């Protein structure tokens, strides 16, 4: 597992994000994933996912697990989109 470090940041006053009452916000991957989860839940980082539990194991009754894949930047100028689309629709029949 990669080394995991929790960081908490204060947002600017006009940031526009708000959690539902009784919840807090989780942001992963520089805003690639953002969701609310109940305040007071236990969080466990894992590889390759993060687990949010209503109580620490083994006493948990509810578990939310999330993962995401970081995709590095690509050179879209060299991506053969027109050819791929032509291949996809070549055998397309109504």
Q: Kindly state whether residue 93 falls inside one of the protein's structural domains.
A: no
Contact predicate 2/50, CB 8 Å: no
Q: Kindly state whether residue 85 falls inside one of the protein's structural domains.
A: no
**Total domain count, the chain:** 1
Instruction: Look at residue 94 in the predicted model and tell me its pLDDT.
Output: 67
Q: Kindly state whether residue 52 falls inside one of the protein's structural domains.
A: yes
Q: Strand 49-53's sheet: what is its strand order?
A: 42-45, 49-53, 63-67
Q: Kindly state whether residue 9 falls inside one of the protein's structural domains.
A: yes
pLDDT tens for the 94 residues of the chain, in order: 456 777 777 878 898 888 999 999 988 887 889 999 999 999 888 878 899 999 999 999 999 999 988 888 888 788 888 888 888 888 777 6
- Helix and strand totals (H; E) in the chain: 1, 5
* Length of the chain, in residues: 94
Cα three-residue angle 26-21-67, rounded to 5 degrees: 20
Q: Kindly state whether residue 64 falls inside one of the protein's structural domains.
A: yes
Instruction: Look at residue 2 in the predicted model and tell me its pLDDT.
Output: 56
């Amino acid at each position: 597992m990669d080394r995991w470090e929790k960081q908490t940041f204060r947002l600017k006053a006009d940031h526009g994000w708000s959690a539902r009452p009784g919840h807090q916000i989780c942001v992963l991957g520089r805003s690639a994933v953002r969701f609310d989860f109940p305040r007071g839940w236990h969080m466990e980082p894992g590889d390759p996912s993060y687990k949010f539990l209503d109580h620490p194991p083994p006493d948990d009754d509810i578990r939310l697990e999330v993962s995401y894949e970081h995709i590095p930047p690509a050179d879209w100028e060299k991506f053969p989109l027109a050819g791929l689309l032509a291949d996809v629709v070549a055998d397309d029949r109504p």
